[in-house]
Structure formats: C-alpha cells, structure tokens
Amino acid sequence: MAPAAHSFGDLPPVDAPARLAQHEPVPPSGALSSEREPALRFSGVTHFYGEHRALDDLHLEVRRGQTLALLGPNGAGKSTTISVLLGLVRPRFGHVEVLGRAPRDAVESGRVGAMLQTGSGTGLPPGVRVVDVVRLVRRLYSHPAPLDVVVERAAITTLLYRRTDHLSGGQAQRVRFALAIAGDPEVVFLDEPTAAMDVEARRSFWKMIRALGDEGRTTVFATHHLAEADQVADRVVVLHHGQVVADGPGATLKAAVASRQVRFVSGRPDVDVLNSLEGVTDVEVRGTTVTLSCLDADASIRALVRSEVEFRDLEVTGAGLEEAFLALTSAARRPEKSRPEKSRPEKKGQP
C-alpha cells in the first residue's frame, strides 16, 4: 500500500470531540463497484495445504452491509477463507472477488481492513504509544477515517497514551481493531476477534461491529463463540472440511435441528425409565434438574406423564446454536479427500 502524502501535523487533535455524526458512512454500493455486486464472492474455490484439503469447491456470496459469522471446528477452513479474501493465499482452483476486484487489488486500494490472529504476541510494535501507532497506520491510506472517529469506534480513548507493552490482552485487541478500521474500510475481516476479552469487553466490541453494519460496511468474522454468532451476525455460515454445511440466520439454523430439550425438576429421577421414554435420545441429570434431548418432544412428554417419574416446572426449548452446530458438523463428517488429479487444469482468472 503506498503511503499517502500526509504529515502528522494535519491530524485532528486526539482530545477533539467525536465527530461520528459528521463522518459520512460508506455507502453500501461502494465507491468503485456496482450496487448489485456482492461484497464478496467465492466460485468453486479449492485449496490444499500438503495433503489437507482446506477449502473444497467452496461457493459463497456475501452481500454489502452484511455481518457474516464463520463457524466450524478447528481445521474447518475459517482462517483459510479469510486469508484467501485478503489475498494472502492464492487458491489452487476457483475464483474470488472482493468488492468486484481481485482480493489483493481491493486490499491495496485501501477498501479492506483486517484483524487476524497473532499467536502468542499482541501483534503490536512494543514500547510505542497507542496514539502513535494509530497515527502511523492512518498515514498508509489515501482517505483514512478521522482520528477521533477511529478512537471513538474502537473505544480506545483511555488507552491513547499508554505504551503497547503495557496493555492487557483485551485492550490490545481493541487497539488492533482500531488499526483495522483506520483506513475507513468498506469490508472488515476479523479472525477470532474477542480472544482474551472478558464478557464486558466482548459486549462492547460487538456493539462496535453492529455499528459498522449500520453504516453499510460488510463484516466477516470467524469465531468459536457460538452465542456471539447468534446474537451479532445477520447470517451464519457453518464450514466443515472446507465446505458450507449450513447457511442462514442463527434462528433458522437452530430451527433446522429436529432435537428439542425437555427440562424439569424431579426429586427421584429414574434414569433407566427416562432413557426408555419414547423420543428420548439422551438424559442428563444434575442434582434434581433433568434434561431430556428428544426427537419428538410431544411424544416424550406424553410418555413422561404416563410414567411413574415425579416432575414439576416442565419447560420445552428448541436446540441452541451450539446443539445445531454439533448436529450439522456431525452429519457432515466424511473421510479426508486426497489431492486433486494432476490432469485437472488450472482455472484462469484466479486472483
């Protein structure tokens, strides 16, 4: 990315009042692309690491302004998907577009921001004031977001004059998020963004992500926190062995799983009797609380009433996103595929 012709002197003062209301949000259509084009497009993308097929004929489109959560077990292809979209990995087969362009072109134009995993470190230069790091990154862009807007969005006002090696894990994540949005991007990629954050910090962070969506920006994040995906994302895509095994709102994915839970209190739960009830697939007893997993909750409840098990405070709930995730990925398990045949031609037009 070529540095823009800015000097530190033209930056707004750090303690200036936030100008979020004055800062124009990015239009959903983007500056250089048609409004009808999706923000992101995968067409038949396949990629290997040695013998491991990380992405397997992946087809996916993400519309502009959408907040998309990528879920999946370790090795499902989440990080590879984000790396491909950033142009860090060139897939073996298939075609990828970001804002109607090749991923590297979109990144170099300054229209894409990213916050990736950093391993054991913070990913920040050590011993530098936070404000100086943010200022430096802003200078890499031709049209950066105003400094006070970046500070406000990332909630780092109280961290500006701290040194980067004096930050907690959650504070470092907020600073890294500020760097990801410093260029005022239309698309933001986040890989496990709330790692090292406590519950309060996570809530604050996802509030910021929802605000980006309200401005028409597209956000894609990979996470292991299923509750976050359910509450924050407009759309949840479950990956397994590099393929999409489920795609839709969290509520839709949960509804697609037939299992229901019947929970009640019993002073004398008989596990053998409960296991034998019609429709029951699993029994969990914790003290006096009993939870039945049922394929047919109505039939299970009728059988419970006919049994001699005493119960009270009965409630029936649908499968949570975690149960849906486990059910969907279990159904999609299959043997690892081998490398593609050598005779398969390389597709043209790859990014």
Walk along the chain (351 residues) and give the pLDDT tens digit of each residue.
443 433 333 344 444 333 444 455 554 434 444 556 899 999 999 999 998 999 999 999 999 999 999 988 888 899 999 999 999 999 999 999 999 999 999 999 999 999 988 766 678 999 999 999 999 999 999 999 999 999 999 999 999 999 999 998 889 989 999 999 999 999 999 988 887 778 888 888 888 888 888 888 999 999 877 777 888 899 999 888 899 988 988 877 776 666 788 999 999 899 989 988 988 878 999 999 999 988 778 889 999 999 989 999 999 987 666 667 777 776 655 444 444 444 444 444 444
With 0-12 / 13-18 / 19 or more C-beta atoms within 10 angstroms meaning exposed / middle / buried, residue 326 is middle
For residue 31, what are its two tokens? 């500056």
pLDDT value for 194: 83
In this structure, the answer to whether residues 74 and 147 fall within a common structural domain is yes
Q: Which residues contact 348 (CB under 8 A, 6 or more apart)?
A: none
Last residue of a domain, one of 227, 247, 267: 247
Q: Tally Cβ neighbours within 10 Å of residue 140.
A: 16
pLDDT value for 207: 87
Rounded Cα gap, residues 43 and 172, in angstroms: 35
In this structure, the answer to whether residues 121 and 212 fall within a common structural domain is yes
pLDDT value for 196: 73
Q: How many domains does the chain contain in total?
A: 2
In this structure, the answer to whether residues 121 and 204 fall within a common structural domain is yes
Q: What CATH number does residue 280 fall under?
A: 3.30.70.100
Query: Is the residue at 61 inside a domain?
Result: yes
In this structure, the answer to whether residues 200 and 150 fall within a common structural domain is yes
With 0-12 / 13-18 / 19 or more C-beta atoms within 10 angstroms meaning exposed / middle / buried, residue 337 is middle
List the domain range (segments joined by +) for residue 294: 258-318
Query: Is the residue at 345 inside a domain?
Result: no
pLDDT value for 12: 41
Number of alpha helices (DSSP H) and beta strands (DSSP E) in the chain: 11, 13
In this structure, the answer to whether residues 124 and 213 fall within a common structural domain is yes
In this structure, the answer to whether residues 145 and 292 fall within a common structural domain is no
Query: Is the residue at 342 inside a domain?
Result: no
- Contact yes or no for 241/262 (Cβ under 8 A): no
User: Residue 12 to residues 21, 160, 185, 314: CA-CA distances in angstroms?
Assistant: 16, 14, 19, 60
In this structure, the answer to whether residues 237 and 287 fall within a common structural domain is no
Rounded Cα gap, residues 291 and 110, in angstroms: 51
In this structure, the answer to whether residues 305 and 214 fall within a common structural domain is no
pLDDT value for 92: 93
In this structure, the answer to whether residues 55 and 134 fall within a common structural domain is yes
Q: Tally Cβ neighbours within 10 Å of residue 313.
A: 10
Alpha-carbon torsion angle 210, 214, 216, 221, nearest 10: 10
pLDDT value for 297: 84
In this structure, the answer to whether residues 147 and 268 fall within a common structural domain is no
In this structure, the answer to whether residues 93 and 228 fall within a common structural domain is yes
Query: Is the residue at 108 inside a domain?
Result: yes
Rounded Cα gap, residues 284 and 290, in angstroms: 6
Confidence (pTM): 0.70
Report the candidate in 104, 98, 114, 85 with the shortest Cα–Cα distance to residue 191: 114
Q: What CATH number does residue 152 fall under?
A: 3.40.50.300
In this structure, the answer to whether residues 221 and 263 fall within a common structural domain is no
SS3 of 84-122: the string is HHCCCCCCCEEEEEECCECHHHHHHCCCEEEECCCCCCC
Rounded Cα gap, residues 112 and 179, in angstroms: 12
- Contact yes or no for 228/202 (Cβ under 8 A): yes
